[in-house]
Amino acid sequence: MNFQGQELISRATYVSNRSLFALAFAKILSVRLDVNLEEFKLLGVSFETAQIEAATNFMLVFLALNHLLSWYGDFQSFQKWNHPKKMVSNMSFFSDKNETVSELEFYILQIESYLKQLKELRENPDENPTRDLGERSAELINSARELQASKDALTVHAKLYLWVWFLALPAAATAYALWL
Every domain of the chain and the residues it spans = 2-163+170-179
User: So what's the pLDDT on residue 93?
Assistant: 44
CA–CA distance, 72 with 53 (Å, rounded to integer): 28
165 in Cβ contact with 13 (< 8 Å): no
Q: 0.85 cut: is pTM over it?
A: no
Q: Is 6 helix (H, G, I), strand (E, B) or coil?
A: strand
86 in Cβ contact with 101 (< 8 Å): yes
CA–CA distance, 74 with 122 (Å, rounded to integer): 48
Nearest to 170 by CA among 46, 82, 60: 60
CA–CA distance, 92 with 119 (Å, rounded to integer): 21
User: So what's the pLDDT on residue 158?
Assistant: 79
Q: Is 59 helix (H, G, I), strand (E, B) or coil?
A: helix
Spell out the alpha helix ranges (H) of the chain: 11-32, 49-81, 103-123, 133-160, 169-179
CA–CA distance, 180 with 23 (Å, rounded to integer): 13
User: So what's the pLDDT on residue 133?
Assistant: 60
Q: Which residues contact 88 (CB under 8 A, 6 or more apart)?
A: 4, 5, 98, 99, 100, 101, 106
Per-residue pLDDT of the chain (180 residues; tens, 9 = 90+): 666 566 778 889 999 999 999 999 999 999 999 888 887 888 888 888 888 889 999 999 999 999 999 999 888 887 766 554 555 555 544 445 556 555 556 666 777 777 777 777 777 766 666 655 666 666 767 777 777 777 777 778 878 888 888 889 899 999 999 998
